[in-house]
Structure 1
């Protein structure tokens, strides 16, 4: 079993909450308590959230629990 890495800029994480099935975010900025993330792909085809939308998430939520996020990988180079 691999360990979950510390959140870092340009990583992709997936929301584990079943209400947000498939929602992926990319970390664009970090501070002491929060990560600013950008929606990487819409969670559902009829979702009103647009790719590129930014929001803040507490760093303690970046763990693979039912209400957390799981690490997917590094963002592809642009």
Structure 2
């Protein structure tokens, strides 16, 4: 992602990324999800070594609120 207005806030598997995206959308934060394996397949390079590897980006103006949500979700998943 070359747009400097967006910041990567999380990297993980599909299930956790989906949960984070739902929580962020509920607060009117629209994350950008980058799926490395899908990008490789579309580019003709086949799959990647980590097929569930996804990245979540948010606009820099929403960073603080997004970080709070990500911390909440990951803490819930650990307990």
Which TM-score applies when normalising by structure 1?
Answer: 0.26
Using CA pairs under 8 Å that are at least 6 residues apart, name the structure with larger relative contact order, 1 or 2: 2
Which TM-score applies when normalising by structure 2?
Answer: 0.26
Higher helix share: 2
Which protein is bigger by CA-based radius of gyration? 2
